[in-house]
Structure 1
Amino acid sequence: MSHAPVPAQNPRPAQNPTPSPSLWAAPPPPRARSGGVAFAIVGILLGVIIGLLVLAYLAVALGVSALAVGSLLALVPLAIVLLAVRWVDRWEPEPRWALWFAFLWGAAVSVAVALIVDLGVQLLLAFAEPGGSPNEAMAAVVQAPIVEETAKGIGVLLLYAFSRSHFDGPVDGLVYAATVAAGFAFTENILYFGAALAEGGIGELGAVFVVRGLFSPFAHVLFTACTGLLIGVGARRGGGVGVVGWFLLGLAAAVLLHALWNGSLTFADDAIGLYFTVQVPIFIGAVLLTFFLRRQEMRVTRARLDEYAAVGWFSTAEVEMLATPAGRRRARAWARSQTPPRTALMRRLIADATHLAFNRHVLVSGRGDVRHVTDERLLLDAVALDRAALLR
């Protein structure tokens, strides 16, 4: 349900009535619960069930031994991608339940949709032209990009719809889209690696692993990132039904990029040359864009927390600790050195303060609604509780 917009807020938030409060004089208020958790639980259970069905299909199609080998090798590109996603997500970490939903949607639901559509197309072609064979080039350049990117993109759109408080902008969209894509690529790699082993032996498997696992582990991430980034742009611009338009624009870009990638592998005479002249520059551009977006997140965090510091919610030293990479490293090191360690508490304070900064950024820009006003109060309470727990 959408909420009525509120006017742009004064750059200075409300004065803290008690800049040095006695934080434990009264029972702490309950922490806000995210309405997206119930959705995620249902989605995760559905993903697990569909994942088991996909696993059974792969076991029948490939054989148990080929499935086992393919699964082990598919962990290599998956680890590479997830480490990169973790780096991108470190500044404002997304909730674990949302990331699990995203991964299972990609690894199970999106794959199941692609398999079902592929089976349906083959049956239609069999009825239309008995004895004919499907056009593999058409399937790779047209069918696969449209079906796969739509299936993956819907998962990112669902995360926005049911977890708007955790979907603040393009970086969040990038993280969720990359996690969905990582799940999809993981299952797809199992299929490719297992099929290569079953059909061509170790030599064929090695060649496929180098191409998919080492040369292009981020291929699906690049495609689906277009959808996630533009959903994030829509969220940053106020959300609402207008996000659907941004979703469709991002989906079109994802489909075109996916088709270009598959087409270069299908039709190019010099696939290696095209890889280094087209695909590598696209990847480098995506990396530079990610660095830019992360720097922008840091600037927003610093600017908004400075506003809260000016009216007594934070000290200057706390802003330095919460809004700079060096400050966060020192804060986590201090938390680890305590007895007992307070690392989890420090991570929670950093996450709540960052979320508070981005929530304030939406309000200041005039794109917020009543929900953001409520969230500001809850997040200020959460920061006070986090600080008290650390100093207790």
Structure 2
Amino acid sequence: MATSAPFPTPPAGPGTGLLRHPHWWQRGWVRYGALITLLVLSGLVILALVRRQTGTEGLLVGLGLAVLPVPWLTAAFRWLDRVEPGPWRNLVFAFAWGACAAALMAIVANTFATKWIATATADPAGADTLGATVIAPVVEESAKAAAVLLVFLFRRRHFTGLVDGVVIAGITATGFAFTENILYLGTAFGTDQLSGDRGIASVTAATFFVRIVMSPFAHPLFTVLTGIGFGLAALSGERQRLRRALLPVCGLLLAMTMHALWNGSSTFGQYGFFAVYGGFMVPVFALLTWLAVWTRQRELRTVQTELPAYVLAGWLGPAEPIALGSMRARRMAREYARHHFGGRPAARTVAEYEAYATSLAFLRHRGRRGRAGADFVVRERELLTELWQRRAVARPALDYAARASAPAPAPAAPVYWTPPPYGYPTVPYPAYHSYRP
């Protein structure tokens, strides 16, 4: 009977202790069930509230138009997360929280606060302005930040740096903007139905142009600032407690400030909206995009730097750090496995191998900097075991990708023979002569 190759010498693990059975409310299925129930109930309530305000026809029109930017926004954040992709369930939770729970909290809190201010001041117009520029940014950004906080606390293993914070925050805000756009577009459609306006001059067309064409990235841009704060906190050491607490708060305050500036742009005069959009929103968007791409490239360099230690220990092949540090080589490895090792299951195996190897590189990077948690050795052993179980398919694919993606050697310069200077022999002397008498 064939036996698998033995493991290389694994790192020493901590001593085993007594197993403690969790209480029933601490079990995973209980927490998952409660969370799913909360999100489903929030979704049903928010759907009823939007339908009550827009009508059934307005709800359907708003839903059809609001869904248009969702695929490409989600794809953009997934592209940023390709180096160390997080589990899909985290992204599904983030989107559902933004579209259901955060949207419901925002609608209820904003409506209550605006009505209370209008009653207290007897100034409905001033209450609407104050609600849009002060209340809404605080409530909405806090509601969206709750999703980032939950992932940061309960999915800490998958929240390790800046990109993770950007992705979770961006997906949450995409879900929130989706629900908000349904409300705005459905309400605009109802207004056009009452007034009889159609075509380009309608309120629906104007709302669609402003919210879907010009600024679909507005809500993700605000909340990404909160995500950056949590991402920097994740990079901090466990002993830097004040830093870990203040960075998310600073990010949240920046998100609220930027959101308030955006909502208040209409009060800055006739061209206030365009001034804020062109002079502030677009440059910040470009800066954050550059930061995210630069961080992604830095992650690839970290993979190339940290994994050679495992090559020396026998866990990885010599060419794997090179291939794993290039997105092009990773794609080539998956394609090679799909064509030579059994189709999509083989490609999925290579993709899992790439993800585990990347997590291993980041874990070692944090450990060398003194920022790894107490479960460093246990987590390292888990990742090495996952890699070892997939090596039969992944290693040949990555070796091929490393060779295929290597830059072609530069052609050698032609060598032309030139006669030696006068008085020198045409053949060099040997390095050592032996003379015999």
The residue matched to 1:227 in structure 2 has which SS? helix
Q: 1-side partners of 2:76 and 2:264: how far apart?
A: 26
Of 135, 142, 158 in structure 1, the residue corresponding to residue 150 of structure 2 is 158
Query: Which of 62, 68, 75 is 1:83 aligned to?
Result: 75
- Give yes or no for the alignment of 1:379 onto 2:383: yes
Name 1:278's counterpart in structure 2.
280
CA–CA distance in 2 between the matches of 1:192 and 1:146? Answer: 20
**Contact 1:40–1:98 (CA<8 Å) still a contact in 2?**
no
Mapped pair 1:223 → 2:207: no
SS in 2 for 1:151: helix
1:73 maps to which of 65, 75, 88: 65
Going from structure 1 to structure 2, the CA distance change for 1:101 and 1:220 (only over 3 Å counts) comes to: same
Q: Does the 8 Å contact 1:268/1:274 carry over to 2?
A: no
Q: Determine the structure 1 residue equivalent to 2:265.
A: 264
Partner of 1:335: 337
Question: Which runs of 5 or more structure 2 residues have no equivalent in the other structure?
Answer: 8-25, 397-437
Q: Distance in 2 between matches of 1:275 and 1:234?
A: 30
Equivalent-residue separation in structure 1 for 2:325 and 2:210 (angstroms): 40
Distance 2:395 2:85 in 1: 23
Verify the 8 A CA contact 2:304 2:325 in the aligned structure 1: yes
Q: Which residue of 2 aligns with 1:21?
A: 5
2:305 to 300, 303, 308: 303
CA shift digits 1:98-139 (9 cap, x unpaired): 111111111111111111112321442354356855522211
Matched residues in 1 for 2:52 and 2:238: separation?
44
Contact 2:98 2:173 in 1 (8 A): yes
Q: 2:132 aligns with which of 116, 137, 140?
A: 140
Match of 1:363 in 2: 367
Contact between 2:353 and 2:390, CA under 8 Å: does it hold in 1?
Answer: yes
Match of 2:413 in 1: none
CA RMSD, 1 decimal: 2.2
2:247 maps to amino acid:
W
For residues 137-184 of structure 1, give each alpha carbon's deviation from its aligned partner in whole angstroms, at most 9, with x where no partner exists.
Answer: 211111111110111111101110000000001110000000110000
Q: CA offset at residue 376 of structure 1?
A: 0.6
Contact 1:80 1:217 in 2 (8 A): no
Does 2:55 align with 1:63? yes
Letter aligned with residue 254 of structure 1: A
- Which stretch shifts more, 323-332 or 264-273? 264-273
Q: Which amino acid aligns with 1:305?
A: L
Query: What secondary structure sits across from 2:5 in the alignment?
Result: coil
**Conserved? CA contact 1:40–1:101, under 8 Å:** no
Alignment partners' CA distance in 2, 1:66 and 1:174:
33
Residue 92 of structure 1 aligns to a residue whose secondary structure is coil
TM norm structure 1: 0.87
Aligned to 2:327: 325
Unaligned runs of 5+ in 1: 1-19, 24-34
Q: Of 186, 189, 192, which residue of structure 2 is paired with 1:197?
A: 189
Deviations 1:26-54 (A, max 9, x none): xxxxxxxxx99655554233212211110
Q: What stretches of structure 1 move > 3 A for 4+ residues in a row?
A: 20-23, 35-42, 129-134, 239-242, 388-392
Larger radius of gyration: 2
The superposition leaves residues 353-376 of structure 1 with CA deviations (integer Å, 9 ceiling, x where unpaired) of 111111111111101122122101
1:40 & 1:338 partners in 2: Cα distance?
39
Letter in 2 for 1:69: V
Alignment partners' CA distance in 1, 2:313 and 2:296: 27
d(CA) in 1 for partners of 2:147 and 2:375?
A: 23
Distance in structure 2 (CA, Å) of the matches to 1:266 and 1:127: 22
Looking at secondary structure, tell me which structure has more helix per residue: 1
Contact 1:74 1:213 in 2 (8 A): yes
Question: Quick one: which amino acid aligns to residue 208 of structure 1?
Answer: T
Between Structure 1 and Structure 2, how many residues are aligned? Answer: 362
Q: Deviations over 1:176-227 (max 9, x none)?
A: 0001100000000101111111113542111111111011111111111111
**Match status 1:117 vs 2:119:** no
**1:391/1:302 CA distance change after superposition, 3 Å:** closer
SS in 1 for 2:319: helix
- Determine the C-alpha separation between the residues in 1 that align with 2:275 and 2:126: 29
In 1, distance between residues paired with 2:231 and 2:33? 23
Query: Normalising by structure 2, what TM-score?
Result: 0.78
Q: Which moved more, 1:330-339 or 1:130-139?
A: 130-139
CA contact (8 A) 2:221 2:285 kept: yes
8 Å CA contact 1:321, 1:330 repeated in 2: no
